[in-house]
A and B are shown apart, each in its own frame.
Chain A
Amino acid sequence: MSGSFAIEARALNVEVGGKPVLKELSVGFRAAQVTAIVGPNGAGKTTLLKALLRLLPLASGQVHLAGQDISARQAHQLAGRIGYLEQAPNIYWPLSVEALVTLGLPAAAAARAGALEAALERTEIAEFRHRPVLELSGGERALVLLARVLATEAPVILADEPTLSLDPRHQIAILECFRRQAKAGTCVVLVMHDLLMAEKYADRIVVIDRGGLYKDLTMPLGLDDQTLDEVFGIGRAALA
């Protein structure tokens, strides 16, 4: 069963600042699917992504990527295999869109050009390619950062609240991009707070609560009333 997961956490225990954040968490994510991870603040969603990326040390447990144990690896050793879009990402220098999207790509010119063009096309930002990224709006910047991840052609993409602070048009544009990417075979894992968007765009919803797996739902099964009440403390009516 575990062999079919593109990336998988097995009995993960992760501590942050000496406090246990993930507790015996086991969950796997498949290729060609958009999986939304939802849960209240402090549930351990971001910690799970960072543990999968090998940005955080594991107290115990394992992380498997394409069936291979990567628990002893560090994040930089997995470049090109996992794409990461961090929460509220920063861009520190006013580089052009094109320069940013190609940062970190292989040196071969033809491969770079191909990856760049495909990423710009998929995110529909080719018209901005020569503009300094710091001159773009927040929504346009988010698309540029997504293009940067797509250009790596990583088989697994982990994104932490990729639609944070975006207007509805750009939220939809970003999520549509992720859906297209999943259809092309990529394993897409999104941490989300917008439960309605999660239900609309994800193939599967994983509910995390207090560092553990609360529920694993395959669409079209939406979030049930009991989950909304117990995990989020709200009713369905509050989402509308």
Chain B
Amino acid sequence: MTRDLGFSGILLFVLGLALMVELAVGPANLSPLEAMVALVAGADDDPFTMIVREIRLPRALVGIAVGATLGLAGAALQGFLRNPLADPGVIGVSSSAGLGAVIAIYGGFASGFALAIPLFAMTGALLATAVLLALSARQASVLTIILAGIGISTLAVALTSLVINISPDPFAVSDIVMWLLGSLQNRSFTDLWLAGPFILLGCGLMLAGGPGLRLLTFGEETAQTMGLDLVRLRLFVVLGAALAVGASVATVGAVGFVGLIVPHMVRPFVGHDPGRILVPSAIAGAALVLLADICVRTIPATQELKLGVLTGLVGAPFFLYLVVHTRRVMR
């Protein structure tokens, strides 16, 4: 327990440093110290203060919320499905949120109403959650949940492809593709207020499932005889992950691999206990997304790299490493 707190403290320190750098990075050149001064004690009419408070702070806070969600959801789903290669995408909510956003762009709603994308995406995520919970009702096995998630995800991806395919407007297609790549660019406090309640509720549900996830180490039947209410745990984890991940994708688009790799980065320090990795995974996820966002803003390119592109580029090789490593450790 002391080791867990110590590691979480280190992660919080890294997250704090990443936040300071995140607030400093951008076209308006500031040092981390100047950014902190502008944030805490800057005059309201100072342009740097406005940049830090109105543009960079919401971007950073959205990044923290999304990163924490993805890290926590990855850890919770790996524990619940007892599969180290599970990630938030496995329940199909990410793809469904993406479909909702794509419909908002394709239908022209996004151009007339700024919140159309997150609202449509949240609707997509909630519909997918309802279908998932209906398909994985009371006596559902882990396999049923995975298969239901794959089915929902495949359908959402197919419908997204259909929209792109039939769209007569090349600019809309470009917007759709760019949104799907995932980014924290231009995120505001409004995005945070919209997604925040769902993210908080979802993360709270997943954290409440921690003790049950530990018992699942022995499988469902033994865990139930040890006091696990499986129906309640399924609701906590599946609904919690769906709400929080759906809201995250609705806000920033698809940011892949964070949920998959973060729990594996945490385990060497806190062990494999599926309940104990939840909080460190949330903090590590938040730090990782902020660090990735710092990279996309500082890597020289003709236009800013998308967050999902960078996490994919880094995450995919790590995933291949995991496949080899997991085969050895989990034999």
- List A residues at the B interface (Cβ < 8 Å): 50, 53, 55, 74-76, 78-80, 82-86, 89-96, 99-100, 103-104, 134, 145, 148, 152
Q: How far is the CA of A75 from the CA of B223 in the complex (A)?
A: 9
Cross-chain contact A86 with B219 (CB below 8 angstroms): yes
Q: A74 CB to closest chain B CB, in angstroms?
A: 8
Chain B positions 224-238 with a Cβ under 8 Å from a chain A Cβ: 224-230
User: B208-228 interface mask toward A, CB cutoff 8 Å, 1 = contact, 0 = none?
Assistant: 000000111111011011111
Q: How far is the CA of A78 from the CA of B226 in the complex (A)?
A: 8
Q: How far is the CA of A86 from the CA of B218 in the complex (A)?
A: 10
Cross-chain contact A76 with B229 (CB below 8 angstroms): yes
Q: Which residue of B lies closest to A78 (CB)?
A: B225
**Nearest 10 CB-CB pairings of A with B:** A79-B227, A104-B226, A75-B224, A93-B272, A92-B82, A84-B225, A76-B229, A90-B219, A76-B224, A75-B225
| Given A79-B225, A103-B226: A92 and B271 interface contact (C-beta under 8 Å) | no
Chain A CB within 8 A of B329 CB: yes
| Number of residues from B at the complex interface, CB < 8 A | 23
Q: How far is the CA of A58 from the CA of B227 in the complex (A)?
A: 20
Q: Which residues of A contact B4 (CB under 8 A)?
A: none
Q: A92-B219, A93-B82, A104-B227 are known; give 6 further A-B pairs, CB within 8 A.
A: A55-B224, A76-B228, A82-B225, A86-B222, A93-B274, A95-B273
Q: A154 CB to closest chain B CB, in angstroms?
A: 9
Q: Which residues of B contact A93 (CB under 8 A)?
A: 82, 217, 272-274
Chain A CB within 8 A of B331 CB: yes
Q: Which residues of A contact B225 (CB under 8 A)?
A: 53, 55, 75-76, 78-79, 82-84
Most buried by B among A78, A99, A104, A145: A104
Q: B212 CB to closest chain A CB, in angstroms?
A: 9
Cross-chain contact B273 with A92 (CB below 8 angstroms): no
